[in-house]
Amino acid sequence: MSSNPQIEARKVGKKYGKFNALRDVSLGIGEGEFLSLLGPSGSGKTTFLTLIGGYDAPSAGQLLLDGQDMTNWPAKQRGFGMVFQGYALFPHLTVAENIAFPLKVQKRSEAQIADRVAQMVEMVGLSGHEAKKPVALSGGQQQRVALARALAYEPKVLLLDEPFSALDKNLRGQMQEELRRLHRELGTTFVFVTHDQEEALALSSRIAIFNHGELQQLGTPEEVYERPANRFTAEFLGDINILTLESGGIAGTPIQLSGNAAGLGHLAVRPEHMRLAVAGDANALPVRLRDRVYLGAKSRLLLETQAGEELMLYLDNGPGIADPHPGAELCVAWDARHGFVV
C-alpha cells in the first residue's frame, strides 16, 4: 500500500435501525490494489462496499477519496464502476447498448462510443454477441457484459459484489483468471466482495476479513493465512487444528511456543505444517489415528490427542511411505514458528 491511500475509511459505521451492520471500520485502499472484502454472510462486507460506492450513507465515520471527504457524495459523483450481484443488466438493451449506456450518459460522441464499445467487447471476449439481449446469454457471458459496462468509462475504482456467486465451479475459475488479467492490464483499483476464501486468496493483493460487522484483519493473503490475528480468522481461512493449551503444554506433553503465550488458551497449527514424527522429536505430540481417508495423491489422517481433541494432517501417498492403520499410536510435530496462539 502506498503511503497515501486512494480510498480511506475512518471509523466507518452503519446502523439499520438498532442493528449494527458495520462498526468502526478503518482501512486504506491503495491505488491499483486488488482488495477483497471477505467474510460470512451478514458480516458487513457488502454493507462496506455499498458505502464505498456511495449507494448508501454511513451512520458514523468518514470516507475519503484522494484525501477529499466523499462521505456525502452520491454514487454518481464518485464515478466508481460497480458490478452488482445478479449483474443488473438492462434486460431490454443489447450487449452493445448495455455497455454504451454509461458512455451516452457522459454525452460522448457517437464515434467515440462505438470505438469504446468495440474495444470493451473485445476485451471481455464477447465478439459476435454485440446484438444479443441479456436473456440470450449464459451466466458467464452476462457477467462479462456487467464487467465491460462497469469498466467502459474508465473508472478509477471498480467495485464487485460477489460477482461469481451464481456461476458453476469451472466457470468461476475461468472468470477469476480473467479478472486477474483485467486487473493487471488496467491497473484500476478493484474492491471485491466474496464469501469464498479460496477466491479471495487467489485473487487479492490484500484481504480484509469481516465478521459481525467488524474488521477482523487486514493483510496480504500470506499474512492473513499464516499469521491470523484471532481465532475467527484462523478458522475462517482454510483448515486448521486447534488444541487447548495448559501451562506450556498440550494434554500433558510440553510444547515449544513462539513468543510469549502466557495465559492464552489455544494453539492453532495448519495441517500442512504438521508432519508425522517419532517420540522424542522436538515438539512431538502423541496421538492416535482415528481414520485415514484416501484422496489419491495424498491421504487425510484424522487424529485424536490423549485429551480427546481432534486434529488432522495430510500425508503424501507414494513408495516407501509409512502406511499407518486406524488405532495406531503416532506422534505429530511442527516447527514452533508455525504454531500460533489464538
Residue ranges that bind another protein, judged by CB under 8 A: 53-55, 74-76, 79-80, 82, 84-86, 88-92, 101-102, 105-106, 133, 149, 153
- Indicate if the alpha-carbon torsion angle 241, 246, 247, 251 is positive or negative: negative
78 vs 270, beta carbon nearer another protein: 78
Relative orientation angle of helices 139-151 and 110-123, to the nearest 10 degrees? 140
Dihedral sign, CA of 3, 5, 10, 13?
Answer: negative
What minimum distance in Å lies between the beta carbon of 139 and another protein?
15
Residue whose CB is less far from another protein, 146 or 224: 146
> At its nearest, how many Å lie between another protein and the CB of residue 54?
8
Which lies closer to another protein via its Cβ, residue 99 or residue 333? Answer: 99
Please identify, using beta-carbon distances, which residue of 15 and 133 lies nearer to another protein. 133
CB-nearer residue toward another protein: 55 or 314: 55
CB of 84 to another protein, least distance (A): 5
CB of 47 to another protein, least distance (A): 15
Strands (E), the chain: 7-16, 19-29, 34-38, 60-65, 68-69, 81-83, 157-161, 189-194, 206-211, 214-219, 241-244, 249-250, 253-254, 266-269, 275-277, 285-294, 298-305, 310-316, 329-333, 340-341
Q: Smallest distance from the beta carbon of 186 to another protein, in angstroms?
A: 18
Q: Which residue has the cell 486477474?
A: 180
Helix, strand or coil for residue 75? helix
Q: Which is nearer to another protein, 45 or 149 (CB)?
A: 149
CB of 80 to another protein, least distance (A): 8
Cβ atoms of 216 and 209 closer than 8 Å: yes
